[in-house]
Amino acid sequence: MQIGVGAFLLPGRRADRARAVLIASSLVAVANTVRIILILAVGASRGPGVLVAMHDWIGTLLSFTAAAAGLILMVRMLQADFEESP
């Protein structure tokens, strides 16, 4: 979703949009990796029932938060570039 929004819908030069998409997508990928490691660590120490609960509830919340933060970051980066241009 972020790639489509950043590449096709937001204003700005192509290079600025590509930079914003790359940074925002990297943020989401890092957050998702941390989420997976956290879920596996909790599941290994607490058991499969907690792993499922962690994946279903906390994992969903973390994924949504990371995606929203990446989208907001991308829009703010492009907004700053758009406001600076003549």
Q: Where are the domains of the chain?
A: 22-81
The answer to whether 73 and 24 have CB atoms below 8 angstroms apart is yes
pLDDT at 12 (0 to 100)? 76
Whole-model pTM above 0.85?
no
Question: Rounded distance, CA 24 to CA 30, Å?
Answer: 10
Burial 70-80 (b: 16+ CB within 10 A, else e): bbebbbebbee
Q: At what angle do helices 14-46 and 59-84 cross, to 10 degrees?
A: 160
pLDDT-based confidence at 40, cuts 50/70/90?
very high
pLDDT at 18 (0 to 100)? 86
The answer to whether 16 and 76 have CB atoms below 8 angstroms apart is no
Q: Say yes or no to pLDDT of 52 above 80.
A: yes
